A and B are shown apart, each in its own frame.
Chain A
């Protein structure tokens, strides 16, 4: 059937069961928005306040639902505003397809109004990207883009279409998703990679070898990374932990991959890891890391990391093996598939003495109560008591993020949405919007700090317009807390440009956007506000006063040995 490129694009999105798009229109993408107008019954478009918000929303939608997120933007500044969002999705392996429309072919390369080489700009931060100049190639490319975004190690893909392609016509034939692998570019790609159409299998010998290593280990430790969350391998991981009777340390991206309340959990690992986690890594004789790349925030000093242990890395991405930390054995494969095969080969073990040693160290930091302000633990305790089990938490980046990961005890994959790798301040509100749109039945909390919230708080307009009952909890210490913490500990208390004693009044800001806001300074007020927020079913901002000098504890300095705590 003959259709315009814009219509073909929409049909291809329908092939992928896309029912939600986050985006912002503009001059070059007009044809696509015009085609979208005719499909408003099938595709719900969320118009954000800023393209960056749309990019984070598509990311938050993808992380919380496990589906591919879709984000539209126009050329030039429209697509450069996506760049931070694309990099965020890339670092945390989130499957998002970004679709942008560039100026028409005859205007390309002439510094035309709102022209930019977005495929060049995003090359290092996408899994792959495309510039579509031929309308007959469009459907094939969209199909390949979705497959690449969601398969293997998921990640963002960008499709830049030149404007004339959205207006030109070509023949489009509907192709169900199961058939995509057998046609066009995708068929060539798969054939090249595997010689046949069978799903790839992890190597059996590698798995046998790991099973033998586990059987010999007296002091095993499991590391739950983001791969467990992306692969939704939480059940298999839990079974393995119980079978091995091994303590489990959790990375920021791994939160939700293993229940935070399970007695085997030592808590978070790394720079702000618990004493139990970091001591366990230092003392174990076998470290099995699942879906974890040993980033500098986890391993700190790669040479002394797990120095007494054989290190085993299970990862879907071969290029992560031996990248940051030298391993003794690795298995390349999808976490779920590898763990299923491993479970058939691992016997029930008992490591009571080792566990007693590990759990003699603290798994969580305690904070002394302050008079005029709330402690981070008081806030997380109140949330834990009042928020339903299915609550999804999106955070920004900094102290509040670390406190959330340390104290919130996440129970299921996709429950925590946070920018772990790229560390994007301003990520949280957009991500919360995406999570709420994708999970209308779940309460969504947006945990933020006063610095981060100020960055993208204009998305409160989106929250209000689409009636999204997101509860924003601001850890307000009137400072850029994490940077101040470094200045306190490392820069002799020279607080250069980190004090944020300035407007706006977040309660009035919420009201200006048509939402409810409340300022709280103690646990009683916080509980009352939280109860009201959970019952109101509309956007709510709770501004929590915390002490300016409150620190994330413990802390190990970057590049130091993992048990070298500079604060306990």
Chain B
């Protein structure tokens, strides 16, 4: 048994229909898990959406959650994505105060170092768009905090596995879950 609580990333393919997201998120709230990050969007097939969801959970509970999710009819497939074997990205928009003229040039320098783009400028503010994993985003956030962050918004993490394997790969376990859904 492994009771260590870790940040877990799940990729879930679901029917692109109303109500599906609430069915998925309900399973997390029922078990008392707060969803740390959630990103949803259509895939290459417009009838299918991909949900990337992150929670803090231990091995036993994440297994239980994944099993309960797999059982839902609108869920096509699920993959747990380990940080080591996946690419994870998030887009963050940050609006920073630039009342002081020195601050403006300092922020532009930080933006340059982090290879982020300035997407909006006003007399008193700059808005930056940062793409990266949490390490980069946290570092950036800390640097900007001293200047005063007015507003910050995250898209939620999206993730893909490295290498050739995909969420669509057939496994024995996937077959076992589909057994019960195979209506004849």
Contact = CB atoms under 8 A, between A and B. Distances in A.
Contacts of B4: none
B146 interface: no
A319 B173 contact: no
B182 A200 contact: yes
Given A123-B26, A148-B73, A192-B76, A317 B180 contact: yes
Candidate in B64, B74, B172, B176 with the most chain A CB atoms within 10 angstroms: B176
Interface residues of A, number: 33
A317 B184 contact: no
Nearest to B68: A319
A305 to B, nearest CB: 15
B35 to A, nearest CB: 17
Interface in A360-409: none
Interface in A470-509: none
Nearest to B63: A322
A321 B22 CA distance: 25
A27 interface: no
Given A124-B30, A317-B71, A319-B177, A151 B22 contact: no
Interface in A157-216: 181, 186, 189-190, 192-194, 197, 199-200, 203
A197 B184 contact: yes
Interface residues of B, number: 27
A189 B181 contact: yes
A190 B180 contact: no
B182 A151 contact: yes
A317 B180 CA distance: 6
Interface string B25-55: 0100010000000000000000000000000
Contacts of A319: 67-68, 70-71, 177
B79 to A, nearest CB: 16
B178 A200 contact: yes
A190 B182 contact: yes
A318 interface: yes
B19 interface: yes
A323 B70 CA distance: 14
B123 interface: no
B183 A151 contact: yes
A120 interface: yes
Nearest to A133: B18
A373 B72 CA distance: 51
Contacts of A322: 63
A111 B23 CA distance: 23
Contact of B184 (A124, A190, A192): A190
Nearest to A119: B19
Contact of B183 (A189, A318, A323, A332): A189
A152 interface: yes
Nearest to A333: B179
Interface of B: 19, 22-23, 26, 30, 63-64, 67-68, 70-74, 76, 172-173, 175-184
Interface of A: 119-120, 123-124, 127-128, 131, 144, 147-148, 151-153, 181, 186, 189-190, 192-194, 197, 199-200, 203, 316-319, 321-323, 332-333
5 contacts: A120-B22, A128-B73, A128-B74, A148-B73, A319-B70
The 3 A-B pairs with the shortest beta carbon distances in the complex, nearest first, are A152-B180, A332-B176, A319-B67
Given A123-B26, A321-B176, 7 more contacts: A128-B74, A152-B180, A194-B178, A199-B182, A317-B180, A318-B173, A318-B179
